[in-house]
Structure 1
Amino acid sequence: MAHRRTKLLFLLCAICYSLNAIAGKSYYDILQVSKSASEEQLKKAYRKLALKYHPDKNQGNEEANKKFAEINNVYEVLSDSEKRNIYDRYGEEGLKQHAASGGRGSGMGMNVNDIFSSFFGGGSMEEEEERIVKGDDVIVELDVSLEDLYMGGSLKVWREKNVLKPAPGKRRCNCRNEIYHRQIGPGMFQQMTEQVCEQCPNVKYVREGYFITVDIEKGMQDGQEVSFYEDGEPVVDGESGDLRFRIRTAPHDLFRREGIDLHTTVTLTLVQALVGFEKTIKHLDEHLVNISAKGITKPKEVRKFKGEGMPLHMSTKKGDLYVTFEVLFPTSLTEDQKTKIKETLG
């Protein structure tokens, strides 16, 4: 079993060596952190994902194994200040040139086993998960305007949560056990287990509030989440849960979103519907869309304007805009008007 696991890890390393580019997503998206993430935030994000996609937990799952290799490759770059700076300024092409000029490029020299073991002390994934006590995750439904979802933006959100603070006195804690070996004779050793500490300083929960900036990316869909690792509910002698903002499109006065398409309704007078009209719609970024027509427009007629919908997340592709035309009929006509209409249309 150990031999097969070692072979699997070497295979994953080989996959990482060949990952010259990770298409579709930025390195920060893969680790689910913001571009301004601190070193500690990167570590926490890596730790969480490495446990989730570890091959021991996903045996026979090729996609999970690829994901595990991918996040190790990404973390190897972002945890190195020099390579992270190159990536931020020049992207993956800059990493390739850095490697070609003699530097360690993206994924080069990386060892999945070394990275994983540096976090988890060489223990198995199951042992690590059993040792970690996690607080509750907090999920917040976040209403986001169509404008921010179309162009990208950021929202400041007020957050209140329990924070652990020092308190008088001591308490029993869940400190880890430390394993060491003691020599009891020539070539003979005894394995010993010792609790690192028996008591810890006491703590208490204090309610605190602060603003969090949530970055909204262009084209994000309902149900997608922006995660802040270990910013959920805390727990004594363990890790805090995560704070997850779940995207929800806020109602808009003009447009209605369906996936990557936009829908709107435009009302025409009867004259405009019959003889044509000149009209534009102000889009979400305030550019004008020409919806003019020269011919007859029927009530409930729908016209498609290609490429005028929502952007697809992490892509240059855009959906379409569908305009439904309503025709406003007059509530009454004079006899003279009736006569003229009959003469014209009869």
Structure 2
Amino acid sequence: MFGFPFSGPFGAFPQFMDEEMDQDFYEQFPQQEDVDNKELYEILEIPPQSDIATVKQAYKTLAKKYHPDRPGGNQQKFQLIQKANEVLSDPEKKKIYDKQGKQGLLRKLNVKNQQFKKCDPFKLEHKITLKDVYQGAYHKKTLTNVQRTCESCQGQGGQQPSNCKSCKGQKIVQMLVQVQPGLNVVQQAPCPDCKGKGQIFLKENECKQCKGAGRIDGEVEIEIPIEKGVPDEYCVKLYGKGNQKPGYENGDVYVYLQIEQHPQYIRKGTDLFYQKTISLKESLTGLNLELETLDDKIINVTTNQIIKPNSIMTVKEKGLPTFKDELHFGDLHIQFNIEFPTQLNQNIKNQIVEILPGPNSTMKNGNTYKLEEFQLGEFEKHLAKQEENEEDDPNQIGVECSIF
């Protein structure tokens, strides 16, 4: 709220600036002289003063119900839910709202008609499984080394600041910069002594915790929403959860999802590929296969067709859900490997000859040679010996090719 966009359980949503949204947001409710600290709770359909856990659960339920991409969704209602959650899920904003209402929150944050620069986003990679992609999930994660406003000095850096002597409180200085040999120009730059703040603290007045910086490295707990069907390397943006800096709008957290390889399934878009080895009997007489899907269910796959080696057969709509359209699914494709028997007795061979179509195995002349199984190891030894003999043959040195 108030210039801080927010990400719901379905990914990133557009940023709503204060001038465009806040006035419209509050004009939807009648103004009261008493402290107004109930309306945001009413939007989330929970009792006033509910704890943050209740707020988050109510937000997830209502966001799914009113998301504009879902059947029966409502864009206006969804935006109200987002803004109410943004205030009530933040401990500091919730505390102010509960005591002073929405007008007190506006005064405290001083955001009306004021624009802030935004901190750089905090970026990270996060691994998820293919099952997460199929089912959807929420992952909790603790971020370290996130810049937070120092609570000891409230981001001020210390007490009793004085004007910087280098820039005389102007925050910038004139610097002589060489742009090429023999040519120098004067440029303005942030003062290096006060780091563009215009004020400095004496050593004894500096905050002992942040040493005058106004910020410290801290930990942040985040919850990463993983939508069904999400593509690899998709960026989930968590607005306002990143770096903090006095005078700046909170930075965002960019989470890049990396999908780990599944031991059985291979993903191609919304389709899944699966390899299965079956017996020769199953390939000829029909197949009835039990298969565990990514939602931990067992499905029966059956066919009476003859299955050829390396052939691919398809089960419709048993792939992954479509991203942003989870009611539609891709297909599941199964590639079959046929496991042949290693040996058969003569009686079975005779029966197969009688049953299966095709020519009989009879000799037509005396020029008959017996087939043997190819031995890769023996072949490699034979090839290496040939190459060794060629290197040792003196007649091969300087031999020219014949021209025909």
TM-score class, shorter-chain normalisation, is: 0.5 to 0.7
Distance 1:135-1:97 versus aligned 2 partners, 3 A rule: closer
Aligned counterpart, 1:249: 259
Q: Does the CA contact (< 8 Å) of 1:264 and 1:324 recur in 2?
A: yes
Distance 1:152-1:203 versus aligned 2 partners, 3 A rule: same
Aligned pairs for 1:320-339 within 5 A: 320-339=331-350
Give the Cα separation in 2 of the matches to 1:242 and 1:97: 24
How many residues are paired up? 245
1:294-316 CA-partner distances (Å, limit 9, x unpaired):
23111111112111111112222
Give the Cα separation in 2 of the matches to 1:319 and 1:96: 28
Q: Does the CA contact (< 8 Å) of 1:77 and 1:83 recur in 2?
A: no
Aligned counterpart, 1:155: 139
1:142 aligns with 2:126: yes
Give the Cα separation in 1 of the matches to 2:308 and 2:225: 43
User: How big is the shift at 1:336?
Assistant: 4.2
2:113 to 87, 102, 121: 121
Q: Does the CA contact (< 8 Å) of 2:163 and 2:198 recur in 1?
A: no
Distance 1:155-1:276 versus aligned 2 partners, 3 A rule: same
Q: Which ranges in structure 1 are unaligned for 5 or more consecutive residues?
A: 1-30, 37-41, 52-71, 99-103, 105-117, 123-127, 178-195
Aligned counterpart, 1:310: 320
Give the Cα separation in 2 of the matches to 1:288 and 1:218: 20
Q: Does the CA contact (< 8 Å) of 1:136 and 1:234 recur in 2?
A: no
Distance 1:32-1:258 versus aligned 2 partners, 3 A rule: farther
User: How big is the shift at 1:210?
Assistant: 4.2
1:129-152 CA-partner distances (Å, limit 9, x unpaired):
xx62x4432322222112221111
Aligned pairs for 1:68-83 within 5 A: 76=24, 81=40
Give the Cα separation in 2 of the matches to 1:79 and 1:301: 64
Distance 1:79-1:46 versus aligned 2 partners, 3 A rule: farther
Aligned counterpart, 1:341: 352
Give the Cα separation in 2 of the matches to 1:94 and 1:79: 22
1:46 to 12, 16, 20: 16
User: How big is the shift at 1:206?
Assistant: 3.1
1:163 maps to a residue whose letter is R
Aligned counterpart, 1:85: 44
Give the Cα separation in 1 of the matches to 2:136 and 2:293: 15
User: How big is the shift at 1:270?
Assistant: 0.9
Aligned counterpart, 1:294: 304
Aligned counterpart, 1:14: none
Q: Secondary structure at the match of 2:355?
A: helix
2:263 maps to a residue whose letter is D
Give the structure-2-normalised TM-score: 0.49
Give the Cα separation in 1 of the matches to 2:302 and 2:234: 36
1:143 maps to a residue whose letter is K
Give the Cα separation in 1 of the matches to 2:22 and 2:269: 30
1:65-88 CA-partner distances (Å, limit 9, x unpaired):
xxxxxxx57995699737843793
Q: Does the CA contact (< 8 Å) of 2:9 and 2:225 recur in 1?
A: no
Q: Does the CA contact (< 8 Å) of 1:46 and 1:75 recur in 2?
A: no
Aligned counterpart, 2:283: 273
1:326 maps to a residue whose letter is N
Q: Secondary structure at the match of 1:265?
A: strand
Q: Secondary structure at the match of 1:121?
A: coil
User: How big is the shift at 1:267?
Assistant: 1.2
Give the Cα separation in 1 of the matches to 2:262 and 2:328: 22
Give the Cα separation in 2 of the matches to 1:246 and 1:199: 39
2:299 maps to a residue whose letter is V
Give the Cα separation in 1 of the matches to 2:269 and 2:162: 53
Give the Cα separation in 2 of the matches to 1:235 and 1:78: 28
Give the Cα separation in 1 of the matches to 2:76 and 2:254: 37
Aligned pairs for 1:147-186 within 5 A: 147-161=131-145, 162-165=147-150, 166=153, 167-168=157-158, 170=161
Distance 1:94-1:307 versus aligned 2 partners, 3 A rule: closer
Rg larger in 1 or in 2? 2
Give the Cα separation in 2 of the matches to 1:265 and 1:320: 14
Give the Cα separation in 1 of the matches to 2:232 and 2:27: 31
**CA RMSD between the two structures:** 4.5
1:242 maps to a residue whose letter is D
1:203 to 213, 219, 233: 213
Distance 1:276-1:237 versus aligned 2 partners, 3 A rule: same
1:33-71 CA-partner distances (Å, limit 9, x unpaired):
1269xxxxx9x9434xx89xxxxxxxxxxxxxxxxxxxx
Distance 1:176-1:332 versus aligned 2 partners, 3 A rule: farther
Q: Does the CA contact (< 8 Å) of 1:267 and 1:325 recur in 2?
A: yes
1:34 maps to a residue whose letter is G
1:99-158 CA-partner distances (Å, limit 9, x unpaired):
xxxxx9xxxxxxxxxxxxx96728xxxxx5xx62x4432322222112221111111223
Q: Does the CA contact (< 8 Å) of 1:278 and 1:292 recur in 2?
A: yes
